Amino acid sequence: MPRRLIRFAAVGVVNTATYVGLYLVLRLVVSYLVAHVVAFALAMVGSYFLNCRFTFRIRPSLRTFLLFPLSNVTNFVVSSVGLYLLVDVLDVNDKVAPLLAAAVAIPVTFLVAQYILTERRAQPRWADHAPEVRS
């Protein structure tokens, strides 16, 4: 799992760079909000395919493609709550806090993405060793 997490973080770096690049180019011709939405959506599509190929080494499917944005929602929620707690509750500097919040959000987002993309469902340990029931 650590290698996957590292590959996931690397895809995140590429995704962020893609978003910023697209945003800056689109900003030349459309409003900042339109540029943000379009760049975010395109970067997320790229992130999906990169995560399928490099992080989890799976084939893309329509089902996982449609579910993948849930991992981005998870990242947003965890990093936002973390940022609030760090700045307003723990009095951490607001320039450092986003990095700390992201450090917490990445593993959580990874677990959600892994769940969605690999369809790994938690099974009790005994399920692997249970005797087969025949009728």
Residue 107 lies in a domain: yes
Six-digit token string for 37: 């939405």
CA pair distance 7, 93, nearest whole angstrom: 29
Please choose, from the candidates 102, 66, 67, the residue with its C-alpha nearest in 3D space to the C-alpha of residue 86: 102
Residue 67 lies in a domain: yes
Residue 72 lies in a domain: yes
Q: pLDDT tens for residues 106-133? A: 889 889 999 999 865 444 443 444 444 4
Structural domains counted in the chain: 1
Residue 104 lies in a domain: yes
Of 129 and 14, the one with more pLDDT:
14
Cβ-in-10-Å burial (0-12, 13-18, 19+) of 46 comes to middle
Give the Å distances, CA to CA, from 119 to 59, 71, 80. 12, 13, 26
Range of the domain at 45: 2-120
Q: pLDDT tens for residues 54-111? A: 999 999 999 999 999 988 899 888 888 988 999 999 999 888 888 888 888 888 988 9
